[in-house]
Structure 1
């Protein structure tokens, strides 16, 4: 990997619960010595440790608080404070409004609130939030998922990766993904389109968003259990003329 590129490692892409060999949504974005854990779905902490320890992370970014995107923050808390890890400082954690109290509410089992801030330096996301983490610039946009939820654009050395998180098609995501090198987009099943108020992309929607954003490459993830990865890729490809891949667990993609 050259200094002009960075990488996306798929820790897991299953929904709404882990499959054998495939944790829920979680990714490691790495470049120029910077490492960011993007979404901490069920089972992803174990896979993360194949690549980096908790105390080697530069930041964690969470799209929304559904368990298949955030549950492993709970075990990461114990790992960071009560095991073999010795943090020099709390890990920067970017997440939806109220994330610290949500974690503390679950973790507290007595009269005193669990000290989640000892493990995580929490900064709440907002629409248009931007942070510089080492070599990477992280820009977040609020998207349409029925609860506070965000999409992410990661940029370094003129290269860009956009991650949809979970969202219905929306102008915020299309705008955020404009001319990106890689769009990592959820591709849930047909039931997502049948809902009265959709809160997910279908594979076809993912293809449409990639096309409308003029993305160079599309990677579909969060594929519904009613579909095979091959079906999701084929459906997205019918709407988008660029390269389409599946976020297979363990896969590594170069951005740039």
Structure 2
């Protein structure tokens, strides 16, 4: 019998650049035969291949276009078109507005635009976007960052995972995470934009969001380099009394 449980595998969780043993933000979400690469931060394509090939992915979902969440799309492009992979069709890619042109601007080396669409079938995200990818249902909401950014709720077999992407605390994330089994929430630091606005969660903010959303479990990711993961977990626990873990690279969590 095929295993249909909803699972989250951490490919990497570092920020803003990979550490010696931890790539940047990237995750594999799976249920049965359905697989989504969720954020493609620097260094995540390598560990992704421990679990699946590019040509067996059902989709890629990108929260925003900062390099620590999207840079490995560039190497994935070369892998998909110019190596040992023969795509039956372009890989569905869900990402912020402008993602195709951003990739093409980096990859184009002549007067002819690189054929981004030969590797990726691009759908631009918008607030409230919803799509079924195999057995997985994805619901996207816009969140508050210093560039266009999105969070996602992924549901399968009656279970739910919500990923914050990068965002300051905001009502749309809390609404999206309402009653979820697991909230995968960034906890970088108190960082502000050039305009002085908060653009990330602190560990305490992550705890507050999990509590407000009545999440069943909190997994901290994208922890800033000024903190150790145990310090971040301890701080989040002052605001959330449910189970808390850190997104250690290589870890697989069964949702629910």
With normalisation by structure 1, the TM-score equals 0.97
- Give yes or no for the alignment of 1:32 onto 2:51: no
Alignment check: 8 A CA contact 1:164 1:173 kept: yes
- In structure 2, the residue matched to 1:172 is 172
Unaligned 5+ residue runs, structure 2? none
- Find runs of 4+ consecutive structure 1 residues off by over 3 angstroms: 1-4, 190-193
- Give yes or no for the alignment of 1:104 onto 2:104: yes
- In structure 1, the residue matched to 2:143 is 143
Give the SS at the match of 1:240.
coil
Cα distance in 1 between the residues matched to 2:110 and 2:43: 27
- In structure 2, the residue matched to 1:125 is 125
User: What are the residue-to-residue correspondences of 1:1-12 with 2, within 5 Å?
Assistant: 3=3, 5-12=5-12
Alignment check: 8 A CA contact 2:190 2:200 kept: no
- In structure 1, the residue matched to 2:229 is 229
**Cα RMSD, aligned residues only:** 1.4
Cα distance in 2 between the residues matched to 1:2 and 1:224: 38
Alignment check: 8 A CA contact 2:90 2:120 kept: yes
- In structure 2, the residue matched to 1:82 is 82
Write out per-residue CA displacement over residues 87-143 of structure 1, whole angstroms, 9 at most, x where no aligned residue: 000000000001000000000000000000000000000000001000000000000
Cα distance in 2 between the residues matched to 1:200 and 1:141: 16
With normalisation by structure 2, the TM-score equals 0.97
Give the SS at the match of 1:47.
helix
- In structure 2, the residue matched to 1:162 is 162
- In structure 2, the residue matched to 1:91 is 91
Cα distance in 2 between the residues matched to 1:244 and 1:231: 12
Q: How much has 1:4 moved relative to structure 2? A: 5.6
Unaligned 5+ residue runs, structure 1? none
Q: How much has 1:3 moved relative to structure 2? A: 4.9
- In structure 2, the residue matched to 1:42 is 42
Pair 115,159 (structure 1): closer, same or farther in 2 beyond 3 Å: same
Q: How much has 1:158 moved relative to structure 2? A: 1.3
Pair 191,144 (structure 1): closer, same or farther in 2 beyond 3 Å: closer
Give the SS at the match of 1:183.
strand
Alignment check: 8 A CA contact 1:31 1:136 kept: yes
